[in-house]
């Protein structure tokens, strides 16, 4: 069994690589960036862009399944560069599906987002909730990817599974997101600023739990289905700041004016994934935060020590 992971060098993809390898599944990464988070040499890695159809086609040969995670994943980047983001997030998906079809791949698993529910009429949502046209371009690109998957299943019989991820956090997270920003500030002695009263909630999902959901979605029952993979606990932004304070000691928390239109969060049900895939989040928010902070500190320490050795390395 061999799985190709586009975006396998990234935050979520790199954890899926680990989970698959733990099960003895062979993995091939296709990514524009080198896999930076592991030292082992024996990772099969194809460097390239998902816009390069031929490169993707070669990478798709000889694999049983493709997990498609390569994307412009940061909503701010999509806002700043919509033309580029559309190319990667929309054309990129059809390139992945078409190469999978031509290479005879059995299943494509597509990493989508619970943001598709942002405009839903109700607060409690599941996979059957009717969706409305999205406001954010990021969501529009991700939804288009979902539609392409469904069209490929219907027209060509290519098995697809759509996974709508909640907001992931944990080791290897990109630095710009809210949790990494809070942790960086807390560790450097700056105060943490929360917008409004901090009562807006999210159901953060620990990244290893999310990666496990991706692996379980390879099961045959998941053929041509959609699953939400979201966290269990409703965590307010204020609780995020307080959890960091609990773990790191006395840090300063300040309140600023509420941001207009701040998404207050939907209550996304992941019951279907529990029932059909046997998936549910296992790591509590506090434990996940402890693991993230440990990883963050270790990374910063290593960077510092590496840089301190610069004269010894360069001197001749
Ligand atoms: N992080 C989140 O908050 C979140 C939430 C919901 C869904 N998602 C989705 O999950 C997927 C993975 O997100 P992530 O957080 O791991 O992002 P990430 O930015 O950490 O990883 C994305 C990877 O895609 C690669 N990539 C980007 N453009 C590429 C290209 N043209 N060709 C080949 N590789 C390219 C990057 O090098 C990177 O390794 C994305 O599809 C994203 O939309 C992310």
Residue 10: inside a domain, yes or no?
Answer: yes
Residue 68: inside a domain, yes or no?
Answer: yes
Q: How far apart are CA 126 and CA 165, in angstroms?
A: 12
Task: Provide the pLDDT for residue 44.
Answer: 93
Structural domain boundaries enclosing 101: 2-174+205-232+266-282
Residue 129: inside a domain, yes or no?
Answer: yes
Measured from the CB, is residue 210 less than 6 Å from ligand 1? no
Task: Provide the pLDDT for residue 91.
Answer: 97
Q: How far apart are CA 93 and CA 299, in angstroms?
A: 33
**Length of the chain, please?**
316
Residue 7 Cα, ligand 1 centroid: separation in angstroms?
6
Measured from the CB, is residue 221 less than 6 Å from ligand 1? no
HEC string of the chain equals CEEEEECCCCHHHHHHHHHHHHCCCEEEEEECCCCCCCCCCCCEEEECCCCCHHHHHHHHCCCCEEEECCCCCCHHHHHHCHHHHHHHHHHHHHHHHHHHHHHCCCEEEEEEEHHHHCCCCCCEECCCCCCCCCCCHHHHHHHHHHHHHHHHHHHHCCEEEEEEECCEECCCCCCCCHHHHHHHHHHCCCCEEEECCCCCEECCEEHHHHHHHHHHCCCHHHCCEEEEECCCCCEEHHHHHHHHHHHHCCCCEEEECCCCCCCCCCEECCHHHHHHHCCCCCCCHHHHHHHHHHHHHHHHHHHHHHHHCHHHHHCC
**264 contacts 197 by C-beta, under 8 angstroms:** no
CA torsion sign, 123 to 126 to 130 to 134? positive
Q: Measuring from atom 7 of ligand 1, which residue has the nearest CA?
A: 113
The pTM is what?
A: 0.95
Measured from the CB, is residue 228 less than 6 Å from ligand 1? no
Q: Measuring from atom 13 of ligand 1, which residue has the nearest CA?
A: 73
CATH code, domain with 113:
3.40.50.720
Residue 306: inside a domain, yes or no?
Answer: no
- Give the CA distances from residue 295 to residues 51, 170, 208, 264, in Å, rounded to whole numbers and listed in that order: 33, 8, 13, 29
* Rg of the chain on CA atoms, in Å: 20
Residue 309: inside a domain, yes or no?
Answer: no
10-residue averages of pLDDT along the chain (316 residues):
97 96 95 78 89 98 98 94 97 98 98 95 96 94 98 98 97 90 91 85 94 98 98 91 89 77 77 98 96 95 90 84
Residue 159: inside a domain, yes or no?
Answer: yes
Q: Measuring from atom 5 of ligand 1, which residue has the nearest CA?
A: 167
Q: Measuring from atom 44 of ligand 1, which residue has the nearest CA?
A: 73
Measured from the CB, is residue 69 less than 6 Å from ligand 1? yes
Measured from the CB, is residue 282 less than 6 Å from ligand 1? no
Q: Measuring from atom 42 of ligand 1, which residue has the nearest CA?
A: 73
Measured from the CB, is residue 47 less than 6 Å from ligand 1? no
Contacts of 207 (CB under 8 A, 6+ apart): 11, 12, 15, 168, 169, 170, 171, 172, 173
Measured from the CB, is residue 94 less than 6 Å from ligand 1? no
> Beta strand pairing status for 2-6 and 65-68?
parallel
Task: Provide the pLDDT for residue 255.
Answer: 83
Residue 43 Cα, ligand 1 centroid: separation in angstroms?
19
Provide the number of structural domains found in the chain: 1
Task: Provide the pLDDT for residue 36.
Answer: 78
Q: Measuring from atom 39 of ligand 1, which residue has the nearest CA?
A: 10
Nearest to 166 by CA among 269, 236, 289: 269
Residue 314 tokens, joined: 């360069």
CA dihedral 175, 180, 185, 188 (to 10 degrees): -80
Measured from the CB, is residue 165 less than 6 Å from ligand 1? yes
Task: Provide the pLDDT for residue 198.
Answer: 83
Residue 260: inside a domain, yes or no?
Answer: no
Measured from the CB, is residue 7 less than 6 Å from ligand 1? yes
């Amino acid at each position: 069994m061999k799985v190709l992971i586009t975006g396998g060098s990234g935050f979520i993809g790199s954890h899926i690589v680990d989970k698959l390898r733990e099960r003895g599944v062979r993995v091939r990464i296709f990514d524009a960036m080198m896999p930076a988070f592991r030292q082992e040499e024996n990772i099969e890695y194809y460097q390239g862009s998902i816009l390069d159809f031929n490169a993707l086609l070669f990478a798709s040969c000889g694999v049983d399944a493709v997990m498609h995670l390569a994307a412009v994943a940061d909503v701010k980047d999509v806002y700043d560069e919509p033309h580029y983001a559309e190319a990667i997030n929309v054309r990129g998906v059809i390139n992945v599906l078409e190469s999978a079809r031509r290479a005879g791949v059995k299943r494509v698993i597509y990493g989508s987002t619970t943001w598709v529910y942002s405009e839903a009429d109700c607060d409690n949502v599941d996979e059957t909730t009717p969706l409305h046209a999205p406001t954010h371009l990021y969501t529009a690109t991700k939804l288009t990817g979902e539609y392409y998957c469904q069209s490929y299943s219907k027209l060509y019989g290519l098995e697809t599974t759509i996974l709508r991820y909640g907001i992931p956090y944990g080791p290897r997270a990109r630095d710009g997101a809210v949790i990494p920003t809070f942790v960086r500030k807390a560790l450097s002695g700056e105060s943490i600023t929360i917008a409004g009263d901090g009562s807006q909630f999210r159901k953060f999902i620990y990244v290893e739990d999310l990666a496990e959901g991706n692996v379980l979605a390879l099961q045959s029952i998941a053929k041509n289905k959609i699953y939400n993979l979201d966290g269990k606990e409703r965590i307010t932004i204020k609780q995020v700041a307080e959890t960091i304070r609990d773990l790191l000691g006395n840090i300063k928390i300040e309140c600023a004016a509420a941001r207009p239109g701040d998404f207050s969060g939907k209550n996304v049900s992941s019951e279907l994934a529990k029932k059909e895939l046997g998936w549910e989040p296992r790591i509590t928010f506090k434990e996940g935060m402890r693991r993230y902070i440990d990883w963050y500190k270790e990374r910063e320490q290593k960077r510092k020590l590496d840089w301190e050795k610069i004269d010894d390395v360069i001197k001749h």
